[in-house]
């Protein structure tokens, strides 16, 4: 039962946390966003649209294919006047050509069948020498073993069937590099980031978050009973730990538009 991004019940599932300072620092260290017009493509709940405003951008255009996601994002971002919202998808954003300085595609591409279409659309939107930031997990990132911080790894320890689902929807670095170059981009950097997802004061807070499947589409592959058993499994693994600092490892590609 994969997540339905168009279901009103799910519209707030990607709004309940903030971007980690490590992500903000990585952006500051690698990209000049001051005064830039940025597209947050696949914005979900707007968490990273808000983060971009903290990096002194001029305006963020937050795009998602789901009206319900956009409603949740608009509510989440209501205090940020330089964020606007637009319905469109990764292959056809409906935005103007050669109009943006930077595009962020975070946790987007693993939902897509065609990297080529996605990156070609990004190329169309960007000005000459514009920057595309792609952040996602490679199969290697996903299948790191579970530990006190990498809680996601325990998902696959308990339910190996999830490994197949996860691997088949993830692209490795070689595939990403080939698709970006084919779409007219030059990869400037490929960076690994252990990004803190959330800090929980106690185990009960983590359990509640997991049972709600908050912001974790892979958990929608489990039945309610399977999810309950997973939470019990994780509870045993982490029972002596507090606070719980959950981290995920990501790969970030920073690429420059070279072909009009």
Q: Pairing relation of β-strands 83-87 and 100-106?
A: unpaired
Cα of 236 vs its chain's centroid, Å: 28
Per-residue pLDDT of the chain (260 residues; tens, 9 = 90+): 454 344 454 434 445 578 999 999 999 999 999 999 999 999 999 999 999 999 999 999 999 999 998 999 999 999 999 999 999 999 999 999 999 999 999 999 999 999 999 999 999 999 999 999 999 999 999 999 999 999 999 999 999 999 998 999 999 999 999 999 999 999 999 999 999 999 999 999 999 999 999 888 899 999 999 999 999 999 999 987 889 999 999 999 999 998 65
CA geometry: angle at 218 spanning 65 and 234, to 5°?
A: 145
pLDDT at 3: 46
Residue carrying the six token digits 């309950």:
228
CA torsion, ordered 159, 161, 163, 166, to nearest 10 deg: -110
Omega within 30 of 0 (cis) for the link into 53: no
132 token code pair: 């595309």
Instruction: Mark out the alpha helices in 80-190 (DSSP H runs).
Output: 115-125, 139-142, 152-158, 161-168, 173-182
pLDDT at 240: 77
pLDDT at 239: 85
Q: pTM for this one?
A: 0.91
Domains and CATH numbers, the chain: 8-257 (3.40.50.150)
29 vs 24, 26, 105, 169, 191, CA distance in Å? 9, 5, 18, 30, 12
Tell which residue, 222, 223, 113, has the closest CA to residue 162.
222
pLDDT at 228: 97
Instruction: Let me know: does 95 contact 125? Beta carbons within 8 Å.
Output: yes
131 token code pair: 């920057």
User: Rounded distance, CA 15 to CA 34, Å?
Assistant: 25
List the beta strands (DSSP E) in 181-224.
185-200
Instruction: Let me know: does 34 contact 102? Beta carbons within 8 Å.
Output: no
Helix, coil or strand: residue 251: strand
């Amino acid at each position: 039962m994969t997540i339905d991004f168009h279901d009103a019940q799910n519209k707030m599932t990607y709004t309940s946390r903030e971007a980690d300072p490590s992500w903000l620092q990585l952006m500051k260290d690698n990209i000049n966003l001051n005064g830039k017009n940025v597209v947050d493509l696949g914005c979900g709940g707007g968490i990273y649209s808000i983060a971009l405003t903290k990096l002194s951008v001029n305006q963020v255009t937050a795009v998602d294919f789901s009206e319900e996601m956009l409603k949740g994002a608009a509510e989440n971002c209501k205090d940020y006047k330089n964020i606007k919202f637009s319905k469109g998808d990764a292959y056809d954003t409906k935005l103007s050509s050669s109009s943006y300085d930077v595009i962020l595609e975070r946790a987007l591409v693993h939902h897509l069948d065609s990297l080529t279409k996605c990156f070609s659309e990004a190329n169309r939107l960007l000005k000459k020498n514009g920057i595309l930031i792609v952040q996602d997990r490679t199969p290697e990132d996903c299948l790191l073993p579970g530990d006190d911080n990498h809680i996601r790894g325990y998902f696959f320890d308990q339910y190996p069937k999830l490994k197949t689902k996860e691997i088949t929807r993830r692209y490795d670095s070689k595939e990403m590099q080939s698709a970006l170059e084919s779409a007219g981009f030059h990869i400037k950097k490929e960076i690994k980031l252990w990004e803190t997802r959330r800090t929980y004061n106690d185990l009960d807070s983590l359990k509640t978050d997991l049972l709600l499947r908050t912001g974790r589409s892979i958990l929608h592959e489990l039945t309610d009973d399977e999810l309950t058993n997973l939470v019990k499994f994780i509870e045993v693994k982490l029972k002596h730990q507090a606070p719980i600092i959950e981290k995920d490892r990501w790969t970030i590609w920073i690429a420059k538009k070279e072909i009009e």
